[in-house]
Amino acid sequence: MAQPMVKAVQVHKSFGRVKVLSGIDLEVAPREVLCVVGPSGSGKSTFLRCINHLEKIDAGQLFVDGELVGYARRGGKMHELGERAVAEQRKNIGMVFQRFNLFPHMTALENVMEAPVRVRRETRATARERAVKLLDQVGLADRRDMYPAQLSGGQQQRVAIARALAMKPKLMLFDEPTSALDPELVGEVLDVMRSLAADGMTMVVVTHEMGFAREVGDAVAFMDGGVVVESGHPRDVLVNPRHARTAAFLSKVL
């Protein structure tokens, strides 16, 4: 097997006295789509945010494409990386948020162009050409000069996906990308994600959309109480769960 795109080894994380992650072990192969499901408060969003170091882990190790995230190993110790080194690592990891977090003072096109121009130092012309293509790809070619406030939730989330893709990431993280959407707008976002998966993007998706997990996911991890209770093929985890906790959760959401 090729080197995993994401590898978590005994990842621990606490907020003050509250233990949120108690030893997460997970692997995501390149071109694989991993869906993380579980009740709220189970630590799945926190785990996702650890992958691009938006949250610092307290113990354990997290690798993206073979590279340790947020730390460097020297002389038997883990040294926390400086801000620039972390920023460098994040360039290759796209993230899509539950509340979109588009930049409200920029048009859709400017949102997508911003990071390539300012972070990757691409010329405006190159960045613009690519941004136009990406907006077209998510079906928003005609909305490129609109501000986020003029777009529907589904459209905003699609711009957010295009914005993340503009950095040419090798891994995409989705933090409940459809949870803030009106029900009729969920489909358009899932469609974009589905075609992204079909193109071979490696994705970690925290979601409540069991249908999507079953259909698009190559693997599903069920988290509860800061641990991965069980993981495997969606058919096994979602249809024939081995653990009572998984079965109990599924009976509530399905």
Partner 1 sequence: MTQVTDTPSVESMPTVRRRRPGRWVAAAVVCVLLAMLVNTFVTNERFQWDVVFDWFTSDRILAGLGRTIQLTVISMLIGIVLGLALAVMRLSGNPLLSGVAWAYIWLFRGTPVFVQLLFWGFISALYPRLSLGVPFGPEFTSFSANALISPFVAAILGLGLNEAAYMAEIARAGILSVDRGQGEAAQALGMTRGLALRRIVLPQAMRVIVPPTGNQAIGMLKTTSLVAVLAYPELLYSAQLIYSANYQTIPLLITASLWYLLITSVLSVGQFFVERHFARGAVMSAGTPGRRGPLRRLAARLPGRRP
Binds partner 1 by CB under 8 A, chosen from 45, 52, 156, 207: 52
Q: Contact between 88 and partner 1 (CB under 8 A)?
A: yes
C-alpha closest to that of 167 among 77, 88, 229: 88
- The CB-of-7 to partner 1 minimum distance in angstroms stands at 20
DSSP tag of 147: -
Q: Contact between 93 and partner 1 (CB under 8 A)?
A: yes
- The CB-of-90 to partner 1 minimum distance in angstroms stands at 5
- Tell me which stretch binds partner 1 (CB under 8 A): 4-12, 65-73, 115-123, 192-200: 115-123
How far is residue 158 from each of residues 13, 96, 211, measured CA to CA in Å? Answer: 31, 9, 20
* Site of tokens 């609109």: 146
Binding flags for partner 1, 175-214, as an x/- string (CB under 8 A): ----------------------------------------
Q: Any bridge partners for residue 7, and if so which?
A: 27, 63
Query: Which one, 79 or 99, has the nearer CB to partner 1?
Result: 99
Binding flags for partner 1, 123-162, as an x/- string (CB under 8 A): ------------------------xxxx---------x--
Handedness of CA 64, 68, 71, 72 (dihedral sign): negative
Distance of CA 3 to the CA centre of its chain: 19
* Site of tokens 């012309």: 125
Q: Any bridge partners for residue 8, and if so which?
A: 26, 62
Q: Contact between 106 and partner 1 (CB under 8 A)?
A: yes
How far is residue 11 from each of residues 159, 227, 228, measured CA to CA in Å? Answer: 32, 9, 11
| Site for partner 1, rule CB under 8 A | 52, 54, 83-84, 87-88, 90-91, 93-95, 97, 99, 101-107, 114-115, 118-120, 147-150, 160, 163-164, 167
